[in-house]
Amino acid sequence: MSTLAFLGEFGEAIQFIFEGETTREGTQVGGSQFLELTVEHIKVSVVAMVVACALAIPLGLWLGHIRRGSFLAISLSNVGRAVPSLALIAFFVAYLGVGFTNVTLALVLLAIPPILTNAYVGVTQVHRETVDAARGMGMTEARIALRVELPLALPLIFGGIKTSAVNVIATATIAPLAGVTTLGDAIINVSGYGDVGRLAAAISVAALAVMTELTLGAAQRAVTPRGIRLESGRPSRRRTLSTRIGRTASP
Amino acid sequence: MVASAVAALTAPLAQVQLRDRSGGDAGCVADDGLCPGWIADNFDRYVDPLVQHVYLVLASVAIGFAISFALALVAHRHRWMIAPIVQVTGILYTLPSIAVFFLLLPLTGRGSLTAIVALVAYSLLIIFRNITTGLDNVPEEARDAGRGMGLTDRQLLWRVELPLALPEIMAGLRIATTTTVGLATLAFFAGAGGLGGQIFADINFKSNVVVAGGLAVLLAAVLDAAILLAQRAITPWTRARAA
């Protein structure tokens, strides 16, 4: 019985997402209105990710290329992890006020550390011999960075982008606190939507995060140079892969 | 079921305290400013949320560690299990915790239980992956030496492999702990209180946001340092090697 009731609530929530309902005040919630919330959710997330990538990837590539600033690149992601996303949004609201720009800025700050750290680690783990060979062939430093180090670092860079994107999608849920009506509107201003609307928003946000993870995971596999893919096809694959992840994850 | 649904509907986020701005310098407070006087007068109201926050974090990380540790030991013997465990915990890690709080509501209701289940689910991937990596990185020579001394598989695990994997395992604990401190600020959505409820209660008031947010960051730093100190204490050989 309770299982059925439990399934029922989810069924209602799914129905809410696709069809919506009219509140007692006569406003439409769910359905097409949910689509608008989703578009806003994706918009704020994408803008924040584009800005974060534009800042963090070149900086990470450059620091990795000159092999300097490991303290900055590594400790930034540790500090970033310790600052709660809610606190970050709240700081922006209290000090800069609400609005799309401020929320985007907060999300950019949240997204930078994993991308920067992974870009840096990705470049520094390119074999010295590879870089020396490129230099011996007469490539300029800029060409080495863009033609040798960047492609070899791409899988890790995409790993960082994936981590940040999922985190940004999750955090955009609390953006209505700062005046941007994302899917979190149904969670934070629950009186307008009811319990079903809130559950519907939770399902939508979860689905959005999983789809982002899967899409970027596929992109990560697609951009992995064939050389690395061949290398990782060896029996020692699991060990090198997990060590690599473990290294980026170590505080 | 119906009664609980009605209760949940009529009390959305009711546990969040209402704005109370008594005490301190009235002008500064009315201005939403950062007021040392108000903070000094009202600091005690942050103590209970802080204690609740610590409880949520410690309970979640402890349970998360117990589950991950058991899974890692099983997967250490049966290596084919690593991939599916990483996939399942990876999906749990991807789900935004705020969404999970509400997805769990119909099952576990409002309160600390819901928050802890969600936070445990989130910590599994981090801890499991680091334990597995740590065990994988144990030098084969150390294993051979242990076997040569006549250790059984179980003795080898507890006396050679796990001690050598401790730095990686503790690194995983540190990441899981700092991450959980951050995620637990959202636990008030599940009706579990914590520092996030304080932030949410008066998000425009700089004093409130700085104190509650600052306590969360401080808590992450203190717990991180505590685990690091514990790691130094139980792995004296790593310091000897570095020296």
| Cβ pair B94:A166 closer than 8 A | yes
Would the pLDDT of A113 be above 50? yes
Contacts of B131 (CB under 8 A, 6+ apart): B68, B69, B72, B165, B168, B169, B172
Record: contact A199-B137, CB cut-off 8 A: no
Q: What residues form DSSP beta bridges with A29?
A: A21
In a domain, A1, yes or no: no
**Residue A232 confidence (pLDDT):** 56
User: In this predicted structure, what is the pLDDT of residue A198?
Assistant: 86
For B136, the domain range is: 47-238
Question: Are the Cβ atoms of A93 and B204 closer than 8 angstroms?
Answer: yes
Which residues make beta-bridge pairs with A28? A22
Place of tokens 């959005």: A208
- Structural domain total, chain B: 1
Q: Which of A81, A91, A202 sits opposite B99 (nearest CB)?
A: A202
Looking up residue A75, the CATH number of its domain turns out to be 1.10.3720.10
Whether B194 maps to a domain, the answer reads yes
- Establish if A4 belongs to a structural domain: no
Looking at per-residue confidence, does B41 or A244 come out higher? B41
Least Cα separation, residue A180 to chain B (angstroms): 15
The residues near B118 (Cβ < 8 Å, ≥ 6 apart) are: B97, B100, B101, B104, B183, B190
Q: Token digits for A102? A: 């401020």
Of A87, A205, A250, the CB nearest to B213: A87
Tell me the pLDDT tens digit for each residue of A131-185.
Answer: 999 999 999 998 999 899 999 999 999 999 999 999 999 999 999 988 888 998 8
Q: What is the mean pLDDT of each run of 10 residues along chain B (243 residues)?
A: 40 47 68 79 87 96 97 94 93 91 87 94 94 94 93 93 93 93 92 89 86 93 93 82 55
Within a domain: residue B106?
A: yes
User: What mean pLDDT comes out for the span A200-227?
Assistant: 90
CA distance B130 to chain A (A): 6
- CATH of residue B203's domain is 1.10.3720.10
Taking the C-alpha atoms of residue A62 and residue A85, their distance in angstroms, rounded to an integer, is 28
Q: Are A251 and B179 an interchain contact pair (Cβ–Cβ within 8 Å)?
A: no
The length of chain B in residues reads: 243
* Contact residues for A37 (Cβ-Cβ < 8 A; gap 6+): A181, A182, A183, A185, A186, A201
The shortest CB-CB distance from A206 to any of B96, B181, B224 is to B96
**pLDDT tens-digit profile of A12-54?**
888 777 777 776 666 777 777 888 889 999 999 999 999 999 9
Higher pLDDT, A246 or B63: B63
For residues B192 and B97, what is the distance between their CA atoms, to the nearest angstrom?
Answer: 13
Please check whether residue B12 lies inside any domain of the structure: no
Closest CA to A170 of B183, B34, B86, B155: B183
Distance in angstroms (rounded) separating the CA atoms of residues A23 and B82: 48
Whole-number pLDDT of residue B43: 83
**SS3 call for B15:** coil
CB contact under 8 Å between A249 and B181, yes or no, is no
Taking CA atoms, B148 is separated from A182, B30, B137, B141, B189, in Å, by 62, 74, 19, 10, 55
Q: What percent of chain B has pLDDT over 90?
A: 62
Pick from A184, A211, A166, A164: nearest CA to A40: A184
- B235 to B99, B161, B163, B241: CA distances (angstroms): 39, 13, 8, 11
Return phi, psi of residue A28, to 5°. -85, 125
Q: Are A201 and A184 in contact (CB under 8 A)?
A: yes
For residue B112, the tally of other CB atoms under 10 A from its CB is 19
Q: Do A202 and B100 touch (CB under 8 A)?
A: yes
> Is B37 contained in some domain?
no
Buried b (16+ CB within 10 A) or exposed e, B68-88: beebbeebbeeeeebeebbee
ipTM > 0.90 (yes/no): no
Q: Is A237 on the interface with B (CB under 8 A)?
A: no
In a domain, A215, yes or no: yes
Q: Are A220 and B104 in contact (CB under 8 A)?
A: no
A243 touches B: beta carbon within 8 Å: yes
CA dihedral for A86, A88, A89, A94, sign (positive or negative): positive
Q: Domain limits at A208?
A: 9-249
As for how many domains chain A has, the answer is: 1
Q: What is the pLDDT, as a whole number, of residue B180?
A: 94
User: Phi/psi at B96 (nearest 5 deg)?
Assistant: -60, 135
User: Residue A184, SS3?
Assistant: coil
B168 part of a folded domain = yes
- Would you say residue A249 has pLDDT above 50? no
